[in-house]
Copies of this chain bind each other. A is one copy, B any other.
Amino acid sequence: MFRDRIRMKSLWSKVVEAETAAALIKDGMIVGMSGFTRAGEAKVVPLALAERAKREKLKITLMTGASLGSDIDRMLTEAKALSRRLPFQGDPTLRAAINRGEVMFVDQHLSETVELLRSRQMGPVDVAVIEVVGITEDGGLIPTTSIGNSATFAILAETLIIELNLSQPMALEGMHDVYIPTRRPYRAPIPVMSPDARVGMPYIPIDPSRIKAIVVTHKGDSCSTVQPPDAETRAIAGHLTEFFKSEVSKGRLTETLAPLQAGIGTIANAVMHGLIDSPFHNLKMYSEVLQDSTFDLFDAGKLDFASGSSMTLSVARHDDVLSNIGRYKSRLILRPQEISNHPEVIRRLGVIGINTALEADIYGNVNSTHVSGTHMMNGIGGSGDFARNAFLSVFVTKSVAKGGAISSIVPMVTHVDHCEHDVDVLVTECGLADLRCLAPRERSALIIENCVHPAYRDVMRDFCREALKRGGHTPHLLEDAFALHSRYRATGHMLEQPAAQAAD
């Protein structure tokens, strides 16, 4: 049954149980696994590894593309099998262990991990565990629903373990485009000149003699937990659509906009979804993760092409899209995340980047990662790759969280992932602030009036008024900059008199 998917017959003898494959991974090793935004991760070998770690000392450094599904990070964490983890994660159990200091988490720009490996600033990769839909006649690996860092992990690893996933449709073959930059100092330009450019191979070329084990699985990807659009995310999408219209009227964009990137998650997905009812057409995406909205835009006839590094779908869309992947295939490319997120390509194409802020400040700095400046949420992911190099860098967030107890916009963010220079436009359900070519004093006025929730506007205005007395290019009261956070920590609400304020 599975043998027709292993076209290099000499590899048939490599098929083993997950436990046998996992035994190739030893304590202290650096392991690279496939998986990006809950798509295409190795699913059974890591679980066998977790089982073993319950019985014997086994701690590894685990690198992936981005977040994993299938509870892999949870089970490895519970088994205390992780000493170091990078470059991104999204699991609550692992998150807690990171925040307790039990797992050393290295939060990296997603385009950079393999650069560090190739230049031997990290690594070496001892074992790579890669999910595939099949293996070509010459041993090439055909990835599944993500590429992520799989290509470079597979090329660099001493030992290769393959998970052949029979639940993933063979029709995925041909959708991938594996291009690896040439070596410095002889590196050539990355030849991607449009989102639909195919510049590489449809599989990962490797030396098949390094395949030491193949494990056959039937486990599907975990579905995304993206929430449907709500009134607030619809308002955010509406503000952004109006802004794009205005840019078109000023001759800065056409109705086909520019290649679009949207970060993972509910808000960015909802914003993209909002384009269905916009006047824009013949859109293209040059993004990292392709979510439900990508396929909704295809179905609505709005989207011509989408390039990403993974497909992550909700329960509602997963089976339909995967079983009809042929319908979309000619309009889709999955690339290594180093290419989907490459500064060179993003800058060249002139991407519009839409990413989610956890917290933003009145001067336009953005925190994407640290709750209260201390506790890691997921990681910076690709947002920095896109925001820094985008033609237009948009950040979106709801103006408040926890029923209004937290303002997403504060006087000073408690952690900076994207500095003021990398944030062109900030949008909440309240409105949009176009920060381009403004000085900090101008930005704060605009952000407070347009983006801050009404219940918090006076607090922000008061802060600015007092800070202005001290002067400076970016006026601040350092001793009060985190007063809202301290109050939230003490009382559970950022406002002194929340009820009175809310009643205004």
Copies of this subunit: 2
Residue of B nearest to A373 (CB): B476
A374 with B472: CB separation less than 8 A: yes
In the assembly, what is the distance between CA of A417 and CA of B289, in Å? 27
> Which one of B187, B189, B419, B482 contacts A417 once the chains associate, using CB atoms below 8 Å?
B419
* A375 contacts partner chain B, Cβ-Cβ < 8 Å: yes
Tell which of A117-125, A128-136, A172-180 binds the partner.
A117-125
Residues of chain A in range 91-147 having any CB-CB distance to chain B below 8 Å: 98-101, 104-109, 112, 115-116, 119-122
| Nearest Cβ on chain B to A287's Cβ, whole angstroms | 16
Q: Is A376 an interface residue (CB 8 A)?
A: yes
**Which of A157-165, A190-198, A230-238, A272-280 has 4 or more CB atoms under 8 Å from chain B?**
A190-198
- Choose one: B112, B343, B372, B471; the contact of A344 (CB below 8 Å): B343
List of B residues within 8 angstroms of A119 by Cβ: 252, 350, 391
- 16 more CB-based (< 8 A) A-B contacts, given A104-B442, A478-B486: A100-B471, A101-B468, A104-B439, A105-B473, A107-B420, A107-B421, A108-B421, A184-B348, A187-B193, A187-B349, A342-B347, A365-B416, A373-B474, A375-B473, A380-B421, A479-B486
Q: Across the two chains, which residue of chain B brings its CB closest to A434?
A: B121
A478 to B344, CA, bound (A): 37
Say whether B252 contacts A120, CB under 8 Å: yes
- Chain B residues lying within 8 Å of A391, measured Cβ to Cβ, are 115, 119, 184
Does chain B have a CB within 8 A of A86? Answer: yes
**Complex: how many Å from CA A392 to CA B121?**
9
Known: A421-B384, A441-B104. Contact between A184 and B473, CB under 8 A? no
Report the bound CA distance from A343 to B348 in whole Å: 10
Chain B contacts of A185 at CB under 8 A? 194, 258, 349-350
B residues less than 8 Å from A471 (CB atoms)? 99-101, 374-375
The answer on a CB contact under 8 Å between B121 and A470 is no
**In the bound complex, how far is the Cα of B392 from the Cα of A115, in angstroms?**
11
Contact B349 A343 (CB under 8 A): no
Docked CA distance A392–B472 (Å): 33
Contact A478 B473 (CB under 8 A): no
The reply on A23 being an interface residue by CB < 8 A is: no
9 A-B interface contacts by CB (under 8 A): A112-B421, A120-B252, A185-B258, A186-B193, A370-B474, A373-B476, A374-B475, A374-B476, A388-B388
A457 to B35, CA, bound (A): 42
In the assembled complex, A438 has its CB within 8 A of some CB on chain B:
yes
Q: In the complex, which residues of chain B have a beta carbon less than 8 angstroms from the beta carbon of A99?
A: 471-473
A76-B70 Cα distance, complex, nearest whole Å: 63
In the complex, the chain B residue whose C-beta lies closest to that of A481 is B482
Interface positions of A from 447 to 472, Cβ below 8 Å from B: 467-468, 470-472
A251 touches B120 (CB 8 A): yes
Across-interface contacts of A415 in B (CB, < 8 A): 474
Contact between B104 and A438, CB atoms less than 8 A apart = yes
Q: In the complex, A187→B189 CA distance in Å? A: 12
Interface residues of A in 370-402 (CB under 8 A from B): 370, 372-376, 380, 384, 388-389, 391-392
Out of B380, B437, B470, which one reaches A106, CB within 8 Å?
B437
How far apart are A93's CB and chain B's nearest CB, in angstroms? 15
Interface code A220-238, partner B: CB below 8 Å = 1, 0 otherwise? Answer: 0000000000000000000
Given contacts A122-B437, A365-B416, contact A470 B348 (CB under 8 A): no
Is A55 engaged at the interface, CB distance under 8 Å to the other chain? no
Docked-complex contact A190 and B193, CB < 8 angstroms:
no
For the complex, is A436 an interface residue (Cβ under 8 Å from B)? yes
* Residue pair B436, A116 in contact (C-beta under 8 Å): yes
Chain B residues, Cβ within 8 Å of A479: 482, 486
A414 at the interface (CB under 8 A from B): yes
Q: Inside 8 A of A343's CB, which chain B residues have their CB?
A: 343-344, 347, 388-389
Chain B residues with CB under 8 Å of A412's CB are 373
In contact, B101 and A441 (Cβ under 8 angstroms)? yes
Considering the complex, give the chain B residue whose CB is closest to the CB of A489. Answer: B478
Report the Cα distance A347→B101, complex, angstroms.
Answer: 32
Q: How far is the CB of A95 from chain B (nearest CB, A)?
A: 9
Contact at A416–B416, with CB atoms within 8 Å? Answer: yes
Closest B residue, CB atoms, query A376 = B473
Q: A500 an interface residue at 8 Å Cβ cutoff?
A: no
- The smallest C-beta distance from A391 to any residue of chain B, in angstroms, reads 6
A107 to B438, CA, bound (A): 9
- Measured between C-beta atoms, what is the minimum distance from A381 to chain B in Å? 11
Chain B residues, CB < 8 A from A467: 374
* Chain A to chain B: the 10 pairs with minimum beta-carbon distance, closest first: A374-B472, A189-B189, A416-B416, A376-B473, A104-B439, A344-B344, A184-B350, A478-B482, A343-B343, A375-B472
